[in-house]
Amino acid sequence: MHRRILLTVAYDGTDFHGFAYQEGVRTVEGELARALAEATGEQPEITGASRTDTGVHALGNLACFDTASTIPPERFAVALDQYLPEDLRVITSEEVSPDFHPRKTGWSKTYEYRILNTPRPEPMLRRTTYHYRSALDVPAMHEAAQFLTGTHDFTSFCSVHSLSPTRKRTIYECSVTAAEAGTHLPSPGSLIVIRVTGSGFLYHMVRIIAGTLLDVGTGRLQPAVIRDILESRDRTLAGRTAEPQGLVLLGYQKGETQCSTDS
Amino acid sequence: MHRRILLTVAYDGTDFHGFAYQEGVRTVEGELARALAEATGEQPEITGASRTDTGVHALGNLACFDTASTIPPERFAVALDQYLPEDLRVITSEEVSPDFHPRKTGWSKTYEYRILNTPRPEPMLRRTTYHYRSALDVPAMHEAAQFLTGTHDFTSFCSVHSLSPTRKRTIYECSVTAAEAGTHLPSPGSLIVIRVTGSGFLYHMVRIIAGTLLDVGTGRLQPAVIRDILESRDRTLAGRTAEPQGLVLLGYQKGETQCSTDS
């Protein structure tokens, strides 16, 4: 009997060439497939939810596969530990229905973009934050972020290399907050976190949002200009694609149906 | 004219064989010496404050050297960026008096030992925390830590390989706190931080304190037993030497003279 198993996976993306399998390079999907083959003796085909880029991290990406293994569904998380590299872990595993598809759930997902805003870089955080030296105006960034919520055509915030047939997406919530120097930050400054929850995201969308909000933080752009950039549907008017190491896929809101705040 | 320069250095200790120079392996001192030689054309001798072990991190270790370079003292921090690997950074640099010695300052120093107390490991934190799966009793750990404050013979909390002529040290403050799931911890559980400030620490002392407080956290030891362990001057009665990756040298309290709370 075959079961379909859903894995919630976490990884430090620094040393992976992204999630999606590519011949000859180290990918999350490739390492998962190898570990599953070793654990089950099968060659399961993996379907991932988010194909994160090189250097991008995840705390709750999703991956599915079918298996006839006798390993109990909820034991896969721990059973795979011995076969996986330590920068990749399965957090939970569970059986799902045979027609479950991780890209067709309708679940919303949340990303964070983390900016270490200190005068000097911090080696312990170099892999998991983007370091920005000069002071940033966090309230202005948060104000700007509010223009992104709702359902919009996000062409301005999408890589020109995107293959998506439609550029319409819904952002349910977008906040910019600063955590003061704490356990991880004894140096003056703060960790600025852009957190965005949406129905789905276009190619590079969160990193372009981060690059544009950085321009608001420095004063180069006024917050209300975000509305004009959205309406222009012109990628060149938004900011740059921010570096990958600041981006973390926090996870999916499983089963919740969020109310869209259409604008 | 020669000046003596004091550097405050931060590093991710994962890929270093500790601070102290050793022929043929990658050390913090070795990388600093190489970078200074490239920046100044000199071969400066470096004197470090704390000779941290392999895998131990620092946010504020200290290192001194003498130079005839025309680089302004406070510019060394930024000037060295291009010559240093990204897991090592000089945070500040300043001129000090010619008789300054980083191990003879009388300054107190603070370490943190960070325990990720979650059911499953978290790849993004694997290099900078120690993962412990089962629930820990944080108030009991904090209660136990209070028996360590004051001036004591710390033989029980010192590696048998220590070469220190005296085992008497003063701990000014030792706390154990839990940060709830936050930016870095979306999974259930918490980051438990042991923070200890003292006049100085014996070889492996903070890691043995952490290993012993872990035994208190699991209930294997009662908090008040710490007093008996201290009095026994017997290393075998304390806990194990906790793994290095949880340990971070936060820094030195420059110039402050702390009041000892002798017991």
> Which residues lie across from A6 on neighbouring strands?
A64, A94
- From first to last of its 263 residues, chain A has per-residue pLDDT tens of 799 999 999 999 999 999 999 999 999 999 999 999 999 999 999 999 999 999 999 999 999 999 999 999 999 999 999 999 999 999 999 999 999 999 999 999 999 999 999 999 999 999 999 999 999 999 999 999 999 999 999 999 999 999 888 999 999 999 999 876 455 555 567 889 999 999 999 999 999 999 999 999 999 999 999 999 999 999 999 999 999 999 999 999 986 554 443 33
Q: What is the pLDDT of residues B62-95, one digit of tens each?
A: 999 999 999 999 999 999 999 999 999 999 999 9
Bridge-based pairing of strands A190-198 and B190-198 is: unpaired
Q: What b-and-e string marks burial along A228-242, b requiring 16 or more CB atoms within 10 Å of the CB?
A: ebbeeeebebbbebb
Smallest Cβ–Cβ distance between A88 and the set B120, B123, B128 belongs to: B123
Distance, in Å, from the CA atom of A195 to the CA atom of A148, rounded to the nearest integer, reads 12
3-class secondary-structure state, position A31 = helix
The size of chain B, in residues, is: 263
What is the structure's pLDDT at A181?
A: 47
Question: Average pLDDT, whole number, for chain B?
Answer: 92
- HSE (CB half, 13 Å, CA atoms) of B231? 7
Query: How much is the average pLDDT of B213-232?
Result: 98
List domains and CATH numbers for chain B. Answer: 3-96 (3.30.70.580), 108-253 (3.30.70.660)
A179/B contact by beta carbon, under 8 A: yes
Give the E-state strand segments of chain A in sequence order: 3-11, 47-48, 57-67, 88-96, 108-117, 130-131, 150-153, 168-180, 190-198, 247-253
Spatial separation of the C-alpha atoms in residues B29 and B49, rounded to whole Å: 11
Query: Is residue B260 over pLDDT 70?
Result: no
Q: CA quadruple A157, A162, A165, A170: dihedral positive or negative?
A: negative
Cβ under 8 Å to B: A residues 50-79: 57, 59-60, 77
Please name the residue of chain B whose CA is at the shortest distance from the CA of residue A179: B183
Instruction: Flag whether residue A121 sits within 8 Å of chain B, measured between CB atoms.
Output: yes
Instruction: Let me know the angle formed at the C-alpha of B180 by A8 and B208, rounded to the nearest 5 degrees.
Output: 100
Q: For tokens 């270490």, name the residue.
A: A116
Which of A60, A92, A124 minimises the CB distance to B128?
A124
Residue A192 φ/ψ, nearest 5 degrees: -100, 125
Confirm or reject contact between B109 and chain A (CB < 8 A): no
Per-residue burial over B86-112, b if 16 or more Cβ lie within 10 Å, else e, is ebbbbbbbeebeeeeebeebebbbbbb
* Residue of chain B nearest A77, judged by CA positions: B120
Three-class DSSP category at A224:
coil
| Helix (H/G/I), strand (E/B), else coil: B253 | strand
- Supply the pLDDT for residue A117: 93
B53 is an active site residue: yes
- Residues of B with CB below 8 A from A127's CB? 124, 127
What pLDDT score was predicted for residue B72?
Answer: 96
Q: What is the pLDDT of residue A202?
A: 95
The answer to whether the Cβ–Cβ distance between A11 and B123 falls below 8 Å is: yes
pLDDT at B163: 87
* Nearest CB to B123 within list A86, A124, A184: A86
Quickly count: other Cβ atoms within 10 Å of residue B72's Cβ: 11
Find the Cα–Cα–Cα–Cα dihedral A84, A89, A101, A45, rounded to 10°: 0
* Residue given tokens 């027609």 in the structure block: A99
Cβ pair B186:A126 closer than 8 A: no
Residue listed under structure tokens 């892999």: A127
Backbone angles phi, psi at B229, to 5 degrees: -60, -45
- pLDDT tens column, B113-135: 999 999 999 999 999 999 999 99
Q: Is residue B187 pLDDT above 50, yes or no?
A: yes
Q: Which of residues 127-146 of B touch A (CB under 8 A)?
A: 127-128
Q: Could you tell me if B26 lies within 8 Å of chain A, comparing CB atoms?
A: no
Host H or E run for residue A208 = helix A205-218
DSSP code, position B216: H
**Distance, CA of B110 to CA of B102 (rounded, Å):** 15
Q: Is B11 within 8 Å of chain A by CB?
A: yes
Pairing, β B57-67 against β B3-11: antiparallel
Q: Which residue has the tokens 């008017």?
A: A237
Q: Is A11 helix (H, G, I), strand (E, B) or coil?
A: strand
What are the Cα distances from residue A68, in Å, to A37, A41, A79, A91, A210? 12, 10, 15, 21, 43
The model carries a pTM of 0.93
CB-nearest partner of A123 from B88, B123, B126: B88
DSSP one-letter string for A144-185? HHHTT-EEEE-GGGS-TT---S--EEEEEEEEEEEEES-TT-
The residue type found at A159 is S
User: Is some CB atom of chain A closer than 8 A to the CB atom of B188?
Assistant: no
